[in-house]
Copies of this chain bind each other. A is one copy, B any other.
Amino acid sequence: MKQTTSKLQDTLLDATETVVARQGIANLTLDAVAAEARMSKGGLLHHFPSKDRLVEALVIRTAEGWRSCYTEAYERTPEGPGRMARALLDHCLSDAKCWTEELRRSSSAVFAALAQNPALIQPMRAVYADLHLRIAKDGLPSGVAEAVAAAIDGLWLDWVLGIVPLEQDRVVRVRRALEDMLAHATQNRRSSKAKSAPRKRSGGLRV
């Protein structure tokens, strides 16, 4: 799965992202990529045997980037219940230092690629499966970590698609809400090992 990408191949993949970012994946042509990378089409095809392979490599590279990203965040985070959730909060929602323009470009390129060729979900699925595994054994009522992950995905979606402009404030607000949720969950877990407090039937929550 993790293929060796040479320096030059990386350059070509960068060029691909650039073209997609600028012209949309509908206008992603081998000629355009080659031009962007200042190479001939023949040269490009020498490194990637087909357009499909090129795009696939792009997706894989990005997926692996994500994996190592959250893996490192996890390693950095102190042990204890909710470790993965805390890692996600700290890494993804702190000061937006991880919401770089570069990430946006690659993410949006991957999105486009997925739309083009649904089979490319595969590498993504692998990464997500890995992530959800960590989340599952997070040591908290499992919905909590899942909610955190989902919320981050949601913010990320808005951002990548450009549906809603990225407001720093909004990220901070959401982060606080999620942190509170996490704190409460941790607290409850500590105070009562019993089944979580009796709750209204799931139809409900009327205030």
Contacts and interface: CB of A to CB of B under 8 A. Distances in A.
- Chain A binding surface SS class: helix
A173 to B, nearest CB: 3
Nearest to A125: B163
A76 interface: no
A157 B154 contact: yes
Contacts of A115: 24-25, 111-116
A173 B143 contact: yes
A109 to B, nearest CB: 9
A45 interface: no
Interface residues of A, number: 67
Nearest to A181: B181
A162 B112 contact: no
Interface in A102-148: 111-118, 121, 124-125, 128-129, 132, 141-144, 146-147
A19 to B, nearest CB: 13
A140 to B, nearest CB: 9
Given A177-B143, A186-B207, A121 B162 contact: yes
A175 B178 CA distance: 14
B158 A157 contact: no
Interface in A137-185: 141-144, 146-147, 149-158, 161-164, 170, 172-185
